[in-house]
Chains A and B, each alone.
Chain A
């Protein structure tokens, strides 16, 4: 569906995307995970054919964005980072108007709008003006609008940023449904839980480059241990406790507010610390997440 080789996006003063290789297969949910400024949105804009690549190869739906931009965009649905809804129009009018951009006949657009509002759980708000709706509703409307042309690929740039937890779960549920119906999802996020929830495969981006690639579980298996023991001490500098935990875990990361001990068996590590008489304020055993992968690969947390 999407194939990039050595893809570069450079602006006057910096390089946003620095030679990435990506392959997205039909029907999968593919994620770009990375902190702000990693080059995720620039990549999405190139795939969406609104931003010409500086160098490298890019094929979307088997076509070249340089020459077939409009034809490719006709087969894409785009959910931008910031909603571009018409807040003065009603919910259904937003979809009607958008459908016409694709040259769809009016009757078809109206039929689809009704289905899409049902899908987005907005049917009872169809005739209300967009402006006063909640953030989650606007986001769902943006997704519904992006589906009006029955796209083969849905591009979602940070779909749930700024939404409350409940609204995020509603949105994830809708995206799962789309995926089951065979729509290829391509999304960016800086939430590791979102990436783990939604993505079959993902790439981790940092400074315009891809630093890791694979399924969430494979990435964790490859770059982290099965479990993590998080320790908080009553101290200003957690690095001071490095000596005390030496040898307990495969690897230790020092964060400003805690130590992360990477180990296959968190419980065992915990009892070893207890045996040594170490008394942290709190100790928590959890499974490894993509956050740990990112931390390991870049030395930084995702959301700072």
Chain B
């Protein structure tokens, strides 16, 4: 650190370049994304507060009235209680997709942020880790706000439900890292629209979010088991309802961690191949 404070009024002293710490690491990358986020945080905060409110009011109480009246709720609980943890996990999925698609492609192609980063001592691993760490912050904020609203509406039945927050965040991260790898591999943004239409949307609908996957046709159920979202939804739901068994939750968590780690490795690989040529 010695000598880093020498600023003699010359613009480019040149001599003290080697004495500063070598790199800001992935934290510097996270700092960049947070600096950008500061410009829009208020809007997203409102969104992440309003969307659970609207979802739970519309789906939970509106649609729930029909479900509860017709079938007496789902698995013995009112529909709003059933659907809240599902939408919690689906929300983190949405945030994950939102933060790892256009921003990744833009950093490669449009505003070339990644090119700027990689011209410094930072490496590809720092760029991916820092970006995903920022996504983690966003996921946590969204999950906490959602959970707060859901709890205030009385849809959380157990203290174990608190654990649904980190589980939903992990679910989001599992998808984020894979989505990052996918986005980094694309050469144009058509693939991103396809991803929202054919991955995010169907997964949101058919992973046990709004109804139990037992309602799906038999052949579709194993597909739901494969999606990270179903695992996040199922684990969150049992935790919130207080019906969780530790083994089941750990299995879900392990599966999600596998997705997160695999996606991360793929993301580093893909971005490396893309940027270091």
Contacts and interface: CB of A to CB of B under 8 A. Distances in A.
A133 interface: no
B14 A103 contact: no
Interface string A2-22: 000000000100000000000
Interface string A149-160: 111101000000
A80 B116 contact: yes
Nearest to A107: B5
A177 interface: yes
Given A80-B112, A108-B4, A116-B11, A101 B277 contact: no
Contacts of A273: none
B46 interface: no
Interface string A106-134: 00100110011001000000000000000
B40 to A, nearest CB: 9
A105 B4 contact: yes
Nearest to A99: B24
Interface stretch (A69-77, A188-196, A206-214, A239-247): A69-77
B10 interface: yes
B7 A112 contact: yes
> Chain A contact residues (Cβ within 8 angstroms of B): what range?
35 or more
A57 interface: no
Contacts of B276: 50-52
B277 A103 contact: no
Contacts of A82: 112
Contacts of B28: 97, 100-101, 103
B31 to A, nearest CB: 5
Interface stretch (A84-92, A219-227, A277-285, A290-298): A84-92
A231 B11 CA distance: 47
Interface centre among B5, B116, B117 (most CB of A within 10 A): B116
Contacts, number: 140
B83 to A, nearest CB: 36
> Chain B contact residues (Cβ within 8 angstroms of A): what range?
35 or more
A71 B275 CA distance: 19
Nearest to B122: A101
Contacts of A74: 17-18, 20, 22-23, 120-121
A215 to B, nearest CB: 23
Contacts of B36: 86, 88-89
What's the dominant secondary structure at chain A's contact region?
Answer: loop
Interface centre among B31, B121, B277 (most CB of A within 10 A): B121
A293 B32 CA distance: 46
A93 interface: yes
Nearest to A80: B115
A84 B1 CA distance: 29
Contacts of B27: 100
Nearest to B35: A97
Given A71-B22, A88-B39, A101-B117, A181 B10 contact: yes
Interface in B1-21: 1, 4-5, 7, 9-18, 20-21
A115 B9 contact: yes
B121 A181 contact: no
A11 B276 CA distance: 12
Given A75-B17, A147-B12, A181-B12, A86 B111 contact: yes
Given A51-B276, A103-B24, A149-B20, A98 B120 contact: yes
Contacts of B277: 11, 51
Contacts of A52: 276
Contact of A73 (B9, B15, B120, B275): B120
B111 A151 contact: no
Interface string B109-151: 0011101111111110000000000000000000000000000
23 contacts: A50-B276, A51-B276, A70-B22, A70-B122, A74-B17, A74-B22, A75-B17, A84-B112, A84-B115, A85-B116, A89-B35, A89-B36, A97-B28, A97-B35, A100-B32, A101-B28, A103-B21, A104-B20, A104-B21, A104-B24, A108-B20, A181-B10, A181-B14
Please list the 9 inter-chain residue pairs (A to B) with the smallest Cβ-Cβ separation, ordered nearest first.
Answer: A84-B116, A103-B21, A84-B112, A78-B119, A101-B120, A70-B121, A100-B28, A103-B24, A100-B24
